[in-house]
Chains A and B, each alone.
Chain A
Amino acid sequence: MTNRAQNQTSRRRFLGMSGLALGGLAVGPTLLAACSSGSSSSGGSSNGGITVLNWPLYIEGDEPSTSATLKGFTDSTGIKVNYQNSIDGNESFNTKYQATLEKGNGIGADLIVLTSWNAAAYIGANLVQPFDSAAFPNEKNVISRLSNPSWDPGRAKSIPWAVGQTGLAYWPDKVGGKITDVNAIFDPKFKGKVTILDEMRDTVGLTMLGMGANPSTGTTAQMLAAVDKIEKARDAGQFKKVTGNSYTEDLAIGDTWIAVAWSGDVAQLQADNPGLEWVIPSQGGMLWVDNAMIPVGAKNPEGANKLLNYVYDPAVAGPLYESISYIPPVTGATQYMTATAQASPFIVPPATPPLFEFDVISPDVAEEVERAFVAATEQ
């Protein structure tokens, strides 16, 4: 071979070899890691700790490091809590974790918190484990209204963590006075300044109330009629936006005049914006519950039971729910709250107007209504 041809070969060989080597270096460690990884990710469990996945704003100040509840729990039981406020929505949670749980593998959490309709599905699919009544005797303190749902009789596998309301938040100076009618969101006077939620059960539920139907017992036809009303209003430009959690930004700054809103968010906003008004319309509002459950594959279910037991002590629940401005699901908790808290409509809603939980509908009905709702609001 000539000198040049030799060099070309060696050059190309080098290029090729180095490519392979670098590639191997890159891919090798990752393959090694795959071979050695176990079936569940690490949790705070090897030292007896627990990992909690919860929604934002469900612990004091939304700062787990300074939460009195978590601190008190760790002090009294020695169990450390790895608390993550990383649940942003039921559906994104499902997308990320459901498949893993369906395989029977753990997700690194000992406690998760999901809204009732989703919790019902998880219980039905056996993705969560039952509580241990020996470790969680305070379970009996759950308030009677929520103590025996059809989808979890006797609260064997789920227990409410946060109980909230869906109503209207509005700026009185922008809308010209007080609002008490839920149909204000359909009033053309406020065209383009109203936001509704993309959470079907909340928006459709309120609309049904405005049409004289009962969301707890309504028929599919009534639900679809409500969706139809929403669609027509949207086509007429009534709504500024159909939003998820992000409605608070526009509302805070006054770009939105009326919003279908969640009570906890409004409590937060009012702290910084005292002019913002909250109302449960005269026709009624929606009541929703986010439920704590122990997923399969949890490394420390006893610790999880103990945390729930701690929270369900009225002396602990009182200050906690006062701080996060939600209805306490624990009987007797209000006695441990300040007078201001007991007068707050977010924590102790008045007897009227009534609050309705959306009916637990079958998956087929849910699909039908959801499809209609998406078509109505996202095209």
Chain B
Amino acid sequence: MNPPNWLRAIGRVSLWVWAGLGLLFLFTPILVTVIFSFNEPTGKYNYVWDKFSLSGWTDPFRYPELTDALIFSLKIAVAVTIIATILGTLMGLAMVKYKFRAKGMIGAILILPLTMPEIVLGFSLLTLFVSINWSRGFITIVIAQVMFSVSYVATTVRARIRGFDWRLEEASLDLGASGFRTFSKVTLPLIAPGVIAAAMLTFALSLDDFIITYLNSGLDNTFPIQIWNMKRSKIPVQINVFSTALLIISIVLAALLVVFNNRRAQKLAGLSNP
């Protein structure tokens, strides 16, 4: 009944190879982006490799409008991530944990924003803002992005929580822990991976968003909009430089998170083995 060992070995190796290929697939254009940040194109467009050069890296702020746009995008992303993660996690928790009427309807409302093309979503929201004379800017962009991000967060958190054993919470309470302690020491750590994954996704989506942001923004440009405006006349190396820098910072932060988690796990393991 059980397959022979050599077949299982092949199966294991193939799995690793396939997963590795998947990761490679994900990273190929990223590699291109990074490599081309070291390019010095002869023309105004960074399409063809000309020669290796650090000119992009030594003069990254050459286009102040690009820098400003990136900073603007980052501010928006932070605000959106915080708000959407909180709202979405709470909704995800409620949807899985409790039975209540109208759950189906709420579930439907949660995925509906994802089913609409962005321009329609953005336009209808813009119509609302115009009708109440709410001028467009940072806040309207945040509102628009949170609106669709909540769905992503709730969906991801729900996938995490399903099958969660709520008796763990009850056990904690039985042992005399307060509600707050139970939540922070029992519930939160167990749903944390889902919440963190959802937060990272939201941050990246926010940086990326174009159409909804374009329609609901004022005169300040976000990073993607700035690139779009510029690309008719030039695609400067600085775009690649900024993208690569963001990548590096994200990798460093993620690595720090891993180290921190491992240290904590070690500490906890140490505590339970006197």
Contacts and interface: CB of A to CB of B under 8 A. Distances in A.
B130 A103 contact: yes
Contacts of B119: 95
Contact of B133 (A10, A105, A109, A271): A105
Interface stretch (B170-178, B200-208, B264-272): B170-178
B29 interface: no
Nearest to A253: B47
Contacts of A253: 47-48
A108 B219 contact: yes
18 contacts: A7-B173, A8-B179, A14-B179, A22-B87, A23-B86, A23-B90, A34-B134, A61-B233, A62-B230, A62-B232, A62-B234, A96-B214, A99-B127, A99-B130, A103-B130, A249-B47, A253-B48, A272-B43
A235 interface: no
A105 to B, nearest CB: 7
Contacts of A39: 133, 135
B221 interface: yes
B42 interface: yes
Q: Of residues A26, A57, A92, A108, which shows the largest number of chain B Cβ atoms within 10 Å of its Cβ?
A: A26
Interface string B161-191: 0000000011001101111101100000000
B253 to A, nearest CB: 24
Given A7-B179, A10-B179, A57 B218 contact: no
A271 B233 CA distance: 12
Contacts of B143: 30
Given A13-B179, A33-B139, A65 B64 contact: yes
B160 interface: no
B77 interface: no
Given A33-B139, A245-B232, A26 B133 contact: no
A41 B130 CA distance: 12
Given A11-B183, A34-B132, A34-B134, A96 B215 contact: yes
A298 to B, nearest CB: 13
Size category, B interface: 35 or more
Contacts, number: 130
Given A4-B173, A39-B135, A272-B42, A15 B64 contact: no
A226 B133 CA distance: 44
B218 A99 contact: no
Nearest to B233: A62
3 closest A-B pairs (Cβ-Cβ)? A11-B179, A272-B43, A62-B233
B123 interface: yes
A33 B87 CA distance: 20
Contacts of A61: 233
Interface in B70-117: 82-83, 86-87, 90
B186 to A, nearest CB: 10
Nearest to A10: B179
A379 interface: no
Interface stretch (A82-90, A143-151, A154-162): A82-90
A7 B119 CA distance: 48
Nearest to A92: B214
Contact of B183 (A4, A14, A29, A103): A14
A96 B218 CA distance: 10
A40 interface: yes
B61 interface: no
A8 B169 CA distance: 9
A78 interface: no
Contacts of A88: 228-229
Nearest to A12: B179
Contacts of A33: 139
Contacts of B233: 56-57, 61-62, 85, 268
Nearest to A87: B229
A19 B90 contact: yes
B153 interface: no
B241 interface: no
Interface string A246-280: 00110011000000000001001001110000000
A245 B229 CA distance: 11
B44 interface: yes
Nearest to A105: B133
A66 to B, nearest CB: 11
Contact of A86 (B90, B146, B178, B229): B229
Nearest to A33: B139
A24 B130 CA distance: 24
B164 to A, nearest CB: 15
A11 B90 contact: no
Given A11-B179, A23-B87, A56 B137 contact: no
B179 A26 contact: no
Contacts of B174: 4
B195 interface: no
A176 interface: no
A283 interface: no
Contacts of B90: 19, 22-23
Contacts of A65: 64-65
A41 B173 contact: no
Interface in A321-359: none
B223 to A, nearest CB: 14
Contacts of A56: 229-230, 232-233
A265 B170 CA distance: 68
A11 B182 contact: yes
Contacts of A268: 44, 233
Nearest to A15: B183
Given A10-B179, A12-B179, A100-B130, A40 B135 contact: yes
A363 interface: no
A34 B133 CA distance: 9
A127 B88 CA distance: 41
Interface string A189-208: 00000000000000000000
